[in-house]
Structure 1
Amino acid sequence: MLKIPAQKPNADIEVLIIDAQALVHTVIRGALLDAGIKQVKSAHNAYSALRLCQTTRFDMVLIAFDVKSDKDGFNLLEEMKYKGYITKTTCVIFLSADTSQGLVNCVVEMEPTDFWVKPLDRSKVIKRIHHILTIEKKLYALRYYFDQNEYPKVIYYAERQLEDPSLTMYYPHINRLIGKSLFNIKEYQAAQEFYQKLAKSYSYAWVQLGLAATLLKQNKIDEATELTTELLQRDDTKFATYDLLAEYHIDNEDYQQGYEIIQEATKLAPRSIERNRKSWNLARLNHDKVGQYLATKNIAKYAKNSIHDSPDLQLNVIRSGLDLAATLSDTESDKVLVSIEKSIERLKQEFGSTSDLADQLTIIEVRRLNLRQNKKQAEQVMLEHSRASALKNFEDNLDKVKAFHEVGLWEQSMRLLEQMKDDVENDSFTGKVLSEYLEQESKERQDIRYSPKELGEMASAYYKNKRYKPAYNLLCQAAQLSPNNPNITITLLKVLAILAEEDGLSDEETLSVEKCLETLEEATLSEVQQTKVNEYNERIDKAGVLQD
């Protein structure tokens, strides 16, 4: 049987205070002494805090958001968790004068024990310290078993603690652990009934969120929709509800809806690296090149000075920028490429001498040359690098697949892509999305051998020679790869208008018209673009194609 370690007496509890303000240290240290806690260390910046964590295992950490000189408290907290300095049994209290919704959402997601708003009031701090210590001691055994994933034991002990009248004030905490445990062992019906019973007595947000999660897991859509609609109207439940809905839609392979929800959640907590990664991967799957570019930029921005910071993040921004440039007009593409080329130079200056980046920068150079119309040079560089062997990670390999494809080495591209498909696990949110993305890439790269920009240029040549059917086919391929590009969609609508006037449209072409109009209705168009859409739509109507 799993033996529970003995609890420390207050006098032996190790505490770390991390804050740039001396007054904060004074107030908190006094409150801790009042509670009988004497082992207190102070750090005024992230560097000092991490040094102290190397030699001491702290039981309680109080960490300020505005830690000065190196990194903010959010990134520091994340790094301390990553390095194991903070575990599930560590009491974490976050301190901040900033109470903006975006920051609060991000902090809540890190699951601290408490969140204190500065400036601190000594009497309130004393009260909160005593309250936290009492809860930690009362729920120690339950939390220990929960941290060890011993969920049946959690339920067993929790149900007995609910019979103890002296623990009445802790019943909500105990019940919360029971609900989570039922959910984690996939007893969804039992969890639903448990949360429904709690809802009669408790108005806590976690009760409603737990109920929503169990309904979604059981695919009880009507009940789940009614509840989540209500929860999305509440500030205290909106953020978590978006996460639940996104996971539900991904599980059901509705990637477009999942992407839209993740985007909304990202707006609420923009600092979340993990959520930006989800947004990035879903953007790729949904052919949203702009969304992909913005997501990689956000990841690089918010990971700065964090445990996640690395040159790979800048590589990903450059790569997604190249993907975007391949879908734009010459003028727009040039603007993006100029920005990318500056980023490449900065990356070379900072990391160019490291052999780890040599292959990646070579592949990026091939793609850049191709976009700059130096196709012969791009092909030559790629031929010198033509081994279809895998590189060190997913993104490096994916970029190599694209480079092979773009210079016309299609067999090598498909061979490497097939290798990648075997290496992706699809038992997680990210794994499912990436697995689906690789399947999509495999099919599209087999069927479509050119970029949206190249397809548009080829279609333009056919159009000038009045070969409208081939132009239509090429534009359909371009629209498949870049469905959110209004210029491609408007050009496709123009060609369809001509086909409608000349010979009428097939059923497939009629459906294509309807899809174009739906896409453009949701797009933000300039006055000139809208005028063109209206003109082509009227011409199609006059040809008698779209009739009620």
Structure 2
Amino acid sequence: MDSKLAKACRVLIIDEQVLAQGYIKYSLEELGFRDITYVDKANAALNTIEEEHFDLIVCSYNLKKDQDGYYLYDQLKNSHALPLTTAFIFISADTSSELVHSIIELQPDDFLAKPFSVKDLDKRLSRVLKRKKALLPIYELMDKDDFIRALDAIEEFLTRPEHAEFFPLALKTKGELLLACDRAKDAKEFYFAIINVQPFTWAKLGLVNALIKLDEDEEAEKLILQLAFKPDSQLVAYDLLCGLHVKQQDFESALEAVLMAAEISPRNLRRHRMAINLSRLTHDYETQFEAAKRIVKFAKHSIHDKPQNYINVARAGIDYAMTADEQETAQLVKQANDYIRQFQQAFPKTELQEQMKVVNARLLYLQDEKERARALVEQISEEHYEGQDLEDLLDKAKVFHALGLYDRCQSVLEEIEKRCKHNPEHGELFLRYVRQEKQERADILYSPKELNNNAVDFYQSGQLDDALKTFRQAYSLMPKNPSIALNLLQAIAMKSREQGLSENASNMVRRCILTIENGKLSEEQEERYMKVKSFLEEAV
């Protein structure tokens, strides 16, 4: 270790174990470090990092007191509180596959497995700190978002032979800066040149980003699918694939990609939130419910553990129950109530009276106690939406619609849409979902279950056109429900006897069959399906 570099280095150690702190302190002092600060909690670390600059942060991955190292580093990166000039190193005795995927995802400057020797620490720190020192002027410019000057600086850096050992990192940084400067065409050529010499994974990932910026989506997707088979790039590949499908407005495929990524690295809460937004757009109520439950699970024992998480699970369970049969509805109502109880136990001092009135009104509606539900809703304020959370407002809109208060429903949805337009941080997907809700709830005044029941009545009384229209509405709200798909398929088959299958009807038939064959039917439904399918095959 360079003694001058060590003495000039300000170090922060984040570890809750006294013995670990003592050993790291001893090891650092042996290597010549003198300016060392200690904290044992993530919140204290956040405050300290915001107030002071550190050249090196050594953080335990397994903090437990208020949030662990994973969430701490993730928050530091996403809030831009951690400058590029600061070296960040994780230490942990855990080397599980989950941790390995987390490290690949978070990309700290290094990871050191416990137990480690002073020699091990010397080797790792020397390498990291020399790298930071060499690229310091470039990182300082990047921290100021001065990407044009940073790109000039990296070009000059790459002309100096004495920096040869840092060229791989400098080349990677150059590609990132070309993209940051909106020079996607130059970035594409640069990444191709690198790959022709050596097929670095980082260069392939950079090339994907350049291709997407250039709207060369087909080539980007081919490369992403190749990268998805490699362990070191699988996670990023699925994230890129999700983003590409969102860009193409293929929300079904985007949801599939983000779920694959969430399976690999389940602690990333942003992916679960993305899954919720995408499942709402695709009316995949079961996936929405499961993603909401995962947020509660993985946010526990961290600063992300909030009352809203539990209430959102209850809300997602109610959304799901609105489309389920009686037996499933009873189970989902029970699970929703379980999460409400968990919230009340975990946050006994939190008062969310109005939000709970809405949730309870929706639960009463599900249990056919509409008068009691309406009585609760009458206690809800019609104004003063400004300070209310968007999820709270969205839940209000849903209960208003269910109880026939359509004007109030639309008024709330308009308020949400207005806020989303003025505050882009809510995200394009959420805004798109709100607009979809607004349109659907204006066009369709019945609940999914009511639509299906009405359609069955139309069908049985021979009103085939009304039955088809109503089954289509039900299916638009419940595209994952095999029972609804079967009912619609049967109505289409009956109609085709009169006038054959149109192109639109044929497309709908294919969608219904896909839903049915990916779902579960009762024996009676299975028998009915085979007859309808056989008839349609003959008709075609």
Is TM (by shorter chain) over 0.5? yes
Deviation at 1:440, TM superposition (A): 1.2
User: Counterpart in 2 of 1:381?
Assistant: 376
2-structure distance, mates of 1:398, 1:370: 17
Question: Which one is further off, 254-263 or 384-393?
Answer: 384-393
2:61 to 60, 65, 69: 65
1:113 aligns to what? 109
Whole-angstrom CA distance in 1 between matches of 2:23 and 2:198: 34
1:509 and 1:198, CA in 2 relative to 1: closer, same or farther beyond 3 A? closer
**Structure 1 residue 533: Cα displacement:** 2.0
> Deviations 1:161-191 (Å, cap 9, x if unpaired)?
1111110000112112211111011110011
* Secondary structure class of the residue paired with 2:145: coil
- Structure 1 residues 272 and 526: CA distance shift in structure 2, 3 A: farther
In 2 relative to 1, CA 177–119 (structure 1 residues): closer, same or farther, beyond 3 Å?
A: same
C-alpha contact (below 8 Å) 2:483/2:516 kept by paired residues: no
CA distance in 1, matches of 2:110, 2:304: 25
> Which residue number corresponds to residue 70 of structure 2?
74
331, 336, 349: which one aligns with 2:332: 336
Q: Please list, as runs of the form range in 1=range in 2, the aligned pairs for 1:286-305 lying within 5 A after superposition.
A: 286-305=282-301
The CA deviation string for residues 344-369 of structure 1, in whole angstroms up to 9 with x for no partner, is: 244345557644x1221111122111
Of 144, 154, 157 in structure 1, the residue corresponding to residue 153 of structure 2 is 157
**1:431 and 2:424 correspond:** no
CA displacement, residues 15-60 of structure 1 (integer Å, 9 cap, x when unaligned): 2333455665455434423442122344555577568668765332
Aligned match of 2:317: 321
Contact 2:317 2:332 in 1 (8 A): yes
1:399-478 to 2 correspondence within 5 Å? Answer: 399-425=395-421, 431-478=427-474
Of 109, 113, 123, the residue aligned with 1:127 is 123
Match of 2:183 in 1: 187
Work out whether residues 75 and 305 of structure 1, in 8 Å CA contact, stay in contact via their aligned partners in 2: no
Query: 1:326: how far off?
Result: 0.3
**In the TM superposition, what whole-angstrom CA distance separates every residue of 1:346-402 from its partner, at most 9, and x where no partner exists?**
4345557644x1221111122111111011221232233261552512111111111
Q: Does residue 370 in structure 1 map to residue 331 in structure 2?
A: no
Q: Matched residues in 1 for 2:299 and 2:529: separation?
A: 42
Residue type of the partner of 2:73? Answer: L
Q: CA deviation at 1:71?
A: 3.6
Report the Cα offset of residue 278 of structure 1. Answer: 0.9
Aligned partners of 1:183 and 1:214 also within 8 Å = yes
Q: Across the two proteins, how many residue pairs are aligned to each other?
A: 535
In structure 2, the gaps of 5 or more residues are none
Q: Which residue of 2 aligns with 1:136?
A: 132
Q: Look up the SS of the partner of 1:120 in the other structure.
A: coil
Helix, strand or coil at the partner of 1:61? strand
Distance 1:146 1:95, change over 3 A: same
Matches within 5 A, 1:126-275: 126-275=122-271
Asked whether the equivalents of residues 79 and 306 of structure 1 are also in contact (C-alpha less than 8 Å), the reply is no
Equivalent in the alignment of 2:343: 347
- Answer yes or no: is the 8 Å Cα contact 2:85–2:139 preserved in 1: yes
Aligned twin of 1:5: none
Question: 1-side partners of 2:440 and 2:25: how far apart?
Answer: 62
Distance 2:140 2:21 in 1: 30
Change (3 A) 1:426 1:275: farther
Distance 1:52 1:213, change over 3 A: closer
Q: Give the counterpart letter for 2:375 in structure 1.
A: Q
Q: Describe the shift of the 1:175–1:475 C-alpha distance in structure 2 as closer, same or farther (beyond 3 A).
A: same
Cα 1:347–1:418, aligned 2, differ >3 Å: closer, same or farther?
same
CA distance in 2, matches of 1:51, 1:222: 45
Query: 1:186 is matched by which residue type in structure 2?
Result: D
Matched residue type, 1:29: K
Distance 1:15 1:340 in 2: 47
Q: Report deviation, 1:263.
A: 1.5
Q: Summarize the alignment of residues 30-41 of structure 1 with structure 2, pairs less than 5 Å apart.
A: 30-41=26-37
Q: Where do 1:41-56 residues align within 5 Å?
A: 41-43=37-39, 46=42
Number of the residue aligned with 1:393: 389
The CA distance in 2 between the partners of 1:426 and 1:370, in whole Å, is: 33
CA distance in 1, matches of 2:499, 2:306: 56
* TM, length-normalised to structure 2: 0.90
Could you say what the CA RMSD is over the residues aligned between the two structures, in angstroms? 2.8
Check 1:470–1:389 CA distance in 2 against 1; reply closer, same or farther (3 A cut). farther
CA offsets 1:247-267 (integer angstroms, 9 cap, x no match)? 222223222222221111111
- Alpha-carbon contact 1:352-1:358 (below 8 Å) kept: no
Change in Cα spacing, 1:429 to 1:389, as seen in structure 2 (3 Å) is closer
Deviation at 1:76, TM superposition (A): 3.5
Decide whether the 8 Å contact of 2:88 with 2:110 is kept in 1: yes
The equivalent of 1:4 in structure 2 is none
SS at match of 1:424: helix
Give the secondary-structure state (helix, strand or coil) at the position aligned to 1:176. helix
Q: Distance in 1 between matches of 2:381 and 2:47?
A: 46
Please, which moves more after superposition, 171-180 or 24-33? 24-33
Cα deviation, 1:297-343, whole Å, max 9, x if unaligned, reads 11122122322221111111111111001000011011000111232
CA offsets, 1:82-122, max 9 Å, x none? 78764443211112333344333333333311122333243
CA shift in 2, pair 1:353/1:38, >3 Å: closer
Structure with larger RCO (C-alpha < 8 A, sep 6+): 1
Q: State the one-letter code of the partner of 1:367.
A: R
Identify which of 477, 487, 490 aligns with 1:491: 487
Name the aligned partner's letter for residue 413 of structure 1: C
Mapped contact 1:389–1:416 kept (Cα < 8 A):
no
Deviation of 1:224 after TM superposition, in Å, equals 2.2
